[in-house]
Structure 1
Amino acid sequence: MSYAQFSKKLETISGISITPFKEGSKEIDWDGVKENIEFLLENGVEVIVPCGNTSEFYALTLDEAKEEIRRVVEIVNGRATVVAGIGYSLQTAIRLGQYAATVGADAVMIHMPVHPYTTESGLTSYFKGIIEALDIPSILYFKDPTISDNVLKELAPQEKLVGVKYAINDLPRFAKVVYEVPKEHHVTWVCGTAEKWAPFFYSVGAKGFTSGLVNLFPQKSFEMLKAMQAGDQDTAWNVWREVLPFEDLRAKYNNGNNVVVIKEAMELIGLNAGVTREPVAPLNESDRKEVTDILKSWGFELKVEKVKN
């Protein structure tokens, strides 16, 4: 399969898998990882991303990240496309990407560095160095609004760059870069800010979106995707209105709630999400009540033993 053909695989939902940690020890619950990946597969998710931000990538050690990538590849066993999240320093990212390729990952998603001092040319070199060092396809995670989209335009001709997860909620800016990157570069544009923003991004060039919600309510995520693909605006926006309160809750505290809301909701309906690791704290009671109310409004039966009074 050519890189151009591979890019078409991203025209769907990229399910960012969660990493369940055991209460108390906060060790990874590997049985829980298997349960959750099987849940995604059973519900038709075609692109699974271990070691994404919703996987709490930056709370994992490198050995844990490697183990998670390896295990997810083994569990998936060819039933979906596995895109392994990689990052940290240039050489660390390259080594992690090479490891991912060795154990059978189909592609990598390169996290945007969290380094406090980043320049446009430096970031371009960072991404380019990783793309060129790996044989498998690369997807860029682009989320820093202070960095120019010139980075993406310069890297777009790279044959092994197959997609961009664009996570800056500025639609005119996104539309402009989509227009300015020639289609022959086979870059698939993915909305990187989930169902809340997916219909907006789709209207100006995105072909897929990332999702954390898919870990617990994949039916609703796919209802939105299929509606957008069919041009059914009424259904797409009806779904958007249904999921908006949940996505707004995830966005609280400058997105600090992003992962913990997903985990809390999964636990409340009987899925194995575990707890979060620092620097993410458990939900406060007010936000927790909001999660339960949303789940009830969606028709979920909550597991009573999981609910605190």
Structure 2
Amino acid sequence: MNFERKSPTGILGFPVSPYDEEGNVDQHALTVNVEFLLEGGLEAIFVACGAGEFTSLSLKEYEKMVELTVSVVEGRVPVYTGVGGPLSEAVEKARLSEKLGAEGYLILPPYLIEGEQNGLYEYYKAIIRSTDLNAILYQRANAILDLPTLKKLVEFPQVVGLKDGAGDMERNVEFTQNIGNQIGWLNGMPMAEVTMPTYVPLGFDSYSSAISNYIPHVSRKFYEAVLNDDKEITNQLYEDVILPINSIRRQRKGYAVSLIKAGMEIMGLPVSNTVRPPIIPVEKDHYKQLEKILDETLNKYPLKSKMV
């Protein structure tokens, strides 16, 4: 093992799966996406996860995206992949991630079935034990853990973190109070900037940022304001950027993914507002609303990137 046995902290980048005119994964666009996130100072790259339309990728596409991302990153930050769904596929992707040089993976929920706690434990255990990579558990949808289950999973040295996408703060308090710094705590709520001020006091020191794909400087400015308890800047960014974008995101199911691509396209990155079913692209009116928000954002908070 030539990587650190700990969860990444700070702002985490989740690149999309860009498609070309034939509907294939656009490798050039993915390269630009990853480089843009690195230039924005993000502390880790999570490829082929939720924002990357994990469930819509073939195994061949998945392999190529992981291979390309590891090559582009070149060890500058940790690279994590997404695994999950049917158990056999999850194990296969975990082993593939290890072979291709990823540092770890994020375990997304199993497909469809709501299992008992012992069933969830066995699901996670089978994946975790299949490799020596770092494993981050993702709590959301049909994968909600109880404290005794999480305690057993933390006994595996591969488990370095838990990402919460459920928003059950009572459960999060129980987790962090009982487990403490044995693992890292990641905020994985949709548009996590909205909720990050409520997570930081519990010990959550990182979050997945959707808007970092097109305005990473705003993510950084907001995160630093939250950590420094600068309520003036925090509230201003809420008003100017975060809540207006979140208001659009909530208009349609699947916008948590497609709105990222729309924002990237507006910012001049080589990603079109194209997604795979069942996700739908951003509608014209919502697209125009996002354009207006980003125009006003750049006027007030200029982006210094050379790539856009």
Distance in 1, matches of 2:79 and 2:54, equals 15
Q: For residues 22-81 of structure 1, give each alpha carbon's deviation from its aligned partner in whole angstroms, at most 9, with x where no partner exists.
A: 23x211111101111111111111200001111111111111111111110011111111
| 8 Å contact kept, 1:119–1:147 | no
Distance in 1, matches of 2:180 and 2:2, equals 18
Alignment correspondent of 1:207:
205
Alignment correspondent of 1:216:
214
Give the share of equivalent positions with the same residue, in percent.
28
Alignment correspondent of 1:304:
none
| TM-score relative to the length of structure 1 | 0.89
Give the 5 Å matches for 1:1-309.
6-7=5-6, 9-23=7-21, 25-144=22-141, 147-150=144-147, 151-183=149-181, 186-193=182-189, 194-241=192-239, 242-253=241-252, 255-274=253-272, 275-299=274-298
| 8 Å contact kept, 1:17–1:50 | yes
Q: For residues 133-184 of structure 1, give each alpha carbon's deviation from its aligned partner in whole angstroms, at most 9, with x where no partner exists.
A: 211110011113773423323312221100111011222222222112243x
Letter in 2 for 1:83: Y
For this pair of structures, how many residues does the alignment match? 295
3-state SS in 2 of match to 1:31: helix
Distance in 1, matches of 2:236 and 2:176, equals 26
1:131–1:92 distance in 2 versus 1, CA, 3 Å: same
1:238–1:174 distance in 2 versus 1, CA, 3 Å: farther
Letter in 1 for 2:179: V
Higher alpha-carbon deviation: 137-146 or 157-166:
137-146
- What is the CA-CA distance between 1:2 and the residue it aligns to? 9.3
Gaps of 5+ in 2: 303-308
Distance in 2, matches of 1:146 and 1:108, equals 16
- What is the CA-CA distance between 1:203 and the residue it aligns to? 2.4
Gaps of 5+ in 1: 302-309
| 8 Å contact kept, 2:66–2:97 | yes
3-state SS in 1 of match to 2:98: helix
| 8 Å contact kept, 1:84–1:100 | yes
Letter in 1 for 2:264: M
1:146–1:156 distance in 2 versus 1, CA, 3 Å: closer
| 8 Å contact kept, 1:10–1:207 | no
- What is the CA-CA distance between 1:245 and the residue it aligns to? 1.5
Distance in 2, matches of 1:269 and 1:233, equals 28
Alignment correspondent of 2:305:
none
3-state SS in 2 of match to 1:178: helix
Higher alpha-carbon deviation: 207-216 or 166-175:
166-175
